[in-house]
Amino acid sequence: MQPDADLTFETWVQAFGAKAQLAGLDLGLYAQMMSGVKVQTLVLKKDRTQPEFSSRIWSYLDRALSDQRIDDGRKMLVLYQDLFAKLARDYGVGAGLIAAFWGIESAYGQVRGSLPVLDCLATLAFDGRRRAFFEAELLGALQILVAGDVSPQGLMGSWAGAMGHGQFMPSAYLAHAVDYDQDGKRDIWGDEPTDALASIAAYLQNSGWDAAVSWGCEVRLPNVFDWSLLHSDQRRPVAFWCAQRVGFVAQELPLSLNVRLHLPAGHQGPAFFLTQNFDVIKSYNASDAYALAVAHLADRLMGGGAFAQEWPRHARALTTPELACLQKNLTLRGYETKGADGKFGPNTAAAVRQYQADMGLTPDGFVTIALFESVIGG
């Protein structure tokens, strides 16, 4: 949905006041808080810009787990060791995991966002592409100001409205932020990270983090494997997978623990057991690559090593138009992808796996240039 061509931003702000009032905000206070808010063209540019190439997971992990980020994280663990220990006792979330979120989200507080959050959220709500979402977040930001946890000048964040050390959206802040230092404010924006790190821990605890279980671990597949087991979301006991000759690389998990098997780069890349805690990480950001980056960074910060299996770095990612072409041709061949939008989702993955199986290929759902050329040229 796009804004009415005749609707100005100022008129939209005035009209949105009715929704703010229904949400319990005083109309006069709303007008005061929104008086200086303006459209941010940079925000619209970033929201509308779609990358031509999708990034392979190893490229994302290379950036997320740079040597600098690992070194900085280990220094933060030492600098704030007393705080991390207290958070682990109070929330049941380990130091490495909290620090990993901190590192991935804001480079340990170095990149917290420098744009006015009200401007950004109002711009995105007015633009209309994701209106309902950003209207709700704008209302949340206004409620934060009313609560007095931060000044209007201090309410800064990213272009999409994510804020502070943990890059909380306003809704996440309202649901999970805590005043851990008990100074009367839930401050996730300032240089002192106590409230922000506690808020990350509270978020994970509230989302179901189980302190007795890890996120998962790297495993190795046997030469002969039943690939129909790979893509089920159903978790099975570790003992079941061991019976299929799936082996541990380093860390081992209890045989009774339910896990699912995950191969983010197909049979040529690393394989993982994932526990329910991995889904807790994904509640923060639904990307598998993001969750794996956080999980692996947490392990590295606590002294763990790199993955044993190399990534298939020779495999170039398809461009968005190429992926759309692949989807179209798969569907024409009878492998229904339910659309050709250039985005790789579960329907496309299922179609790819079926095509691979029919062609005598390893049905791991991983798309390569060779597979693309086979589909469109065969």
Report, as an integer, the average pLDDT of 320-326: 95
In a domain, 132, yes or no: yes
In a domain, 257, yes or no: no
**Cα angle at 65 between 60 and 69, to 5 degrees?**
130
Q: What is the pLDDT of residue 50?
A: 61
Q: What is the pLDDT of residue 7?
A: 84
Q: How far apart are the first and last CA of the chain?
A: 39
Residue that is last in its domain, among 171, 206, 241 = 206
What secondary structure letter does DSSP report for 184? Answer: S
Please indicate, yes or no, whether residues 188 and 334 belong to a single structural domain of this protein: no
Please indicate, yes or no, whether residues 13 and 155 belong to a single structural domain of this protein: yes
Report, as an integer, the average pLDDT of 340-366: 93
Q: What is the pLDDT of residue 180?
A: 98
Least confident segment among 87-91, 203-207, 338-342 = 338-342
CA distance 368 to 278: 26
pLDDT at 196 over 90: yes
Residues 6+ apart with CB under 8 A from 77: 84, 95, 96, 99, 301
CATH number at residue 15: 1.10.8.350
CA distance 103 to 65: 9
Residue that is last in its domain, among 206, 223, 247 = 206
pLDDT at 137 over 80: yes
pLDDT at 1 over 60: no
In a domain, 251, yes or no: no
Residue that is last in its domain, among 190, 206, 222 = 206
Q: What is the largest CA-CA distance in the chain?
A: 69
Please indicate, yes or no, whether residues 41 and 180 belong to a single structural domain of this protein: yes
Q: What is the pLDDT of residue 374?
A: 96
CA distance 121 to 312: 39
Q: What is the pLDDT of residue 129?
A: 85
In a domain, 71, yes or no: no
Residues 6+ apart with CB under 8 A from 73: 99, 100, 102, 103, 108, 297, 300, 301
CA distance 333 to 95: 50
**Cα angle at 93 between 90 and 97, to 5 degrees?**
145
Q: What is the pLDDT of residue 59?
A: 94
pTM recorded for the entire structure: 0.93
In a domain, 338, yes or no: yes
Least confident segment among 43-52, 71-80, 146-155, 161-170 = 43-52
Percent of the chain beyond pLDDT 90?
Answer: 91
In a domain, 125, yes or no: yes
Q: What is the pLDDT of residue 253?
A: 97
In a domain, 155, yes or no: yes
Counting the structural domains of the chain, the total is 2
In a domain, 16, yes or no: yes
Structure-token match 């306003």, residue found: 170
Report, as an integer, the average pLDDT of 117-128: 95
Q: Bigger pLDDT: 129 or 54?
A: 129
CA distance 349 to 99: 33
Over residues 84-111, the pLDDT tens digits come to: 999 999 999 999 999 999 999 999 999 9
Task: Give the range of the structural domain holding residue 334, as residue numbers without chain letter.
Answer: 320-377
CA distance 166 to 156: 13
Over residues 20-75, the pLDDT tens digits come to: 999 999 999 999 999 999 999 999 999 887 665 568 999 999 999 999 999 999 99
Mean of the per-residue pLDDT values for the chain?
Answer: 94
Q: What is the pLDDT of residue 234?
A: 82
